[in-house]
Amino acid sequence: MKVVIAEKPSVARDIAEVLEIKSKKKGYLEGRGCAVTWAFGHLVTLQEPGEYDPALKRWSLETLPFVPEQFKLTLVKNRGVEEQFKVIETLCLQAEEIICATDAGREGELIFRYILALCGCEDKPIRRLWLNSLTPEAIKEAFKDLKDGHDYDPLYAAARCRSESDWIVGLNATRCYTVRHGRLGGTGDRVLWSIGRVQTPVLAMIVERDDAILQFRPQLFWELTTRYCEVVFKFTGKRFAQPDKGQALLDKITGQPFVVTGIAAKEKKEQPPQLFDLTTLQREINKLHGLSAADTLAASQNLYEKKFVTYPRTDSRYLSKDLQPRIPQILAQLKTIRPEEIARLNLTKLPFSKRIIDDSKVSDHHAIIPTGVAPRGLNGHEQLVYEAIITQFIAAFYPACVKNITTVDGVSNEVKFEAKGTQIVEPGWTALFLNRKQSQEAAEEQPLPVFAKGETGPHEPSLREGKTIPPKHFSENSLLGAMEAAGKLVEDDALREALKERGIGTPATRAAIIETLLSRNYIQREKKQLRCTDMGRCLIALIRDPLLKSPEMTGEWEEKLKKIERSQLDPGEFMAGISGYIRTLIKSSVAERLDPGRWGSCPLCGREVVKGKRAYGCSGWKEGCEFVLEPECRGVTFAAKQVQVLLQQHILPQPVQIGEEQRLLILSTQGMVMDLALPSAERQQQVKKT
């Protein structure tokens, strides 16, 4: 008997229907010498420390780091899991051959192999069903081309390394920081500090951005412009940091004629957009409609399981050569949905450029495209996502948008100006995005009348005062882009493609990382923005090891996992590096014990802090340092040990200017940010009396 294991019941039913297997049993379908069964996603997971040794159930620094010599598996503790696993186990033990039909990717491979291992069936013959789509035709073709399951051993090795490294870093770091800093809150309740190999660097990015905005001080600048024939011309030099230089030029040209000195027109071709991978799809939907990355992933997964789009958890924006003959057929099927847009395409001569077809840019899965099956019964989110996918797919085969970029140079009394304008010659693919493009262009561009070189006339010069603006808070769109590019904000498609190998997380996991940070109250949504909470900021302040919150380091780890997938790196070498790292982290963290004989260092000047009758203050008060920390603020009272932690662990950042007062942000592990206005003569006097 052959046994097929799918990842979900719905996929198992689709496969059974194609194979004409109709006999329903409890937990599987049977017929024609084959049984099709299913998991519920992850059925099997890594054991907890207490399952290795009951003594490890107690959280203690003395038991850290804990790295198992050999990881052991256990069932996920969830209703119905044990019953379904027994069905799978019974079938696998009877099977002559087992076919892996879980999602065709790293996590799907892990789900199947962990089930196989816990069943004790790793030595049985295995084959791999690799699906890009769940249409009946795609399933039939995939069954005709079953692969040897061991061809995917490197993929499993990478998946296992991901699972075990997350376990090692997450468990050890979480226990370490929770034991050391979990009782800092004013109520005495333990705070669980959850730390992860991927989630913590992402949190650090958000905290760093929010702190940069908090500490941003706008700088004044002045721009010299002039209006001629209802067109705004900008001074070609840099804007002015001081008004006097700009005013001098303004005085120089006031009352003087303006002369057009040159007109240059340049044709620019804007190529059609590339097809979607999961991250660019999530970013686009978040930008246009405000949907979260998790909601977009859920909608696209539903569309895949309903056979309307191809496999969504992909990091490729290209199609493979063998898919090229099917594209005209898919577009022809879509004519019932988009007749006018597709009618403009010549389906017998589609422009299959390297921006669309490139086998070297397709690893596990190609870009997300429609299957051609007409959608029905879509909910709101699914409709939005499907419309975006189908529009992007059609646009990829449209001609380029042709623009004329015109630059007009002018001068007034030797002071040079220029104005730029854009004229659409051929809209090309932008016709499919007309409303969006028009709104963007209206905001960014100005129409230019016909100018003649040498023409002259009066103009209206002015000096405008402006202020620099702070960086923007992360949205899910910009955060996903930064995660994809290992912490760097990159808009250029080519550069972002080059950085994908070092991205934080994978397209399939990035949404879950964001949701994890939200569920643990480390970040929160404010409209389209993602902002750190006081708890999140405090956690990042507590973590002293820069590598644990480094996007670059996490990107390097992800790059190594991809090398393991390609058999370019030994899994043992990667895991040895992870184990060595966590041992160093725990050792250095334990060494950072509090010194009971001192309060800590002043965050303003570095001198020792002393305790007064009612407050703590800097010992350098005679030299003018005005730092004071009251033990009670906003309803929270800090115990002596808590003050030592705040000061010795340097949880107090540098003072910042808020309004007209200088304030010091003090982070409470209860999730509260307290600000103390500096200076305070009354509080300083409390220290001087000692």
Q: What is the pLDDT of residue 189?
A: 62
* Amino acid found at 482: A
Active-site entry in 311, 318, 398, 581: 311
Q: How many CA atoms lie within 13 A of 375 on its CB side?
A: 23
* Contacts by 84-87, CB closer than 8 A, 24 or more apart: 84/27, 84/38, 84/39, 84/40, 84/43, 85/43, 85/44, 85/115, 85/118, 87/26, 87/27, 87/28, 87/37
- Mean pLDDT confidence for 198-203: 94
Q: What class is the 220-272+401-467 domain? A: mainly beta
Q: Are strands 147-148 and 34-38 parallel, antiparallel or unpaired?
A: unpaired
Q: What is the pLDDT of residue 280?
A: 95
pLDDT greater than 90 at residue 517: yes
Domain 278-395 has CATH 1.10.290.10: yes
Residue-wise pLDDT for 169-199, tens only, equals 999 999 999 988 776 544 456 788 999 999 9
Q: What is the pLDDT of residue 690?
A: 32
Q: Which of 50-59, 182-191, 307-316, 638-647 has the lowest mean pLDDT?
A: 182-191
Structure tokens at 589: 């963290």
311 is catalytic: yes
164-214+472-591, CATH topology level:
Topoisomerase I; domain 2 (1.10.460)
- Greatest C-alpha distance within the chain: 96
Q: What is the pLDDT of residue 364?
A: 80
Task: With beta carbons less than 8 A apart as the criterion, state whether 626 and 573 touch.
Answer: no
pLDDT greater than 60 at residue 503: yes
Task: With beta carbons less than 8 A apart as the criterion, state whether 453 and 429 touch.
Answer: no
The alpha-carbon radius of gyration of the chain (Å, integer) is 31
Residue-wise pLDDT for 345-391, tens only, equals 999 999 999 999 999 889 789 999 999 999 999 999 999 999 999 99
Q: Which of 375-384, 434-443, 626-635 has the lowest mean pLDDT?
A: 434-443
Q: What is the pLDDT of residue 183?
A: 64
Mean pLDDT score of the chain, rounded to an integer? 87
Q: What is the pLDDT of residue 492?
A: 62
Confidence grade of residue 116 (pLDDT, cut at 50, 70, 90): very high
pLDDT greater than 80 at residue 242: yes
Q: Which of 181-190, 277-286, 612-621, 642-651 has the lowest mean pLDDT?
A: 181-190
Task: With beta carbons less than 8 A apart as the criterion, state whether 129 and 101 touch.
Answer: yes
Distance, in Å, from the CA atom of 22 to the CA atom of 14, rounded to the nearest integer, reads 11
Domain positions in the chain are 164-214+472-591, 220-272+401-467, 278-395, 609-688
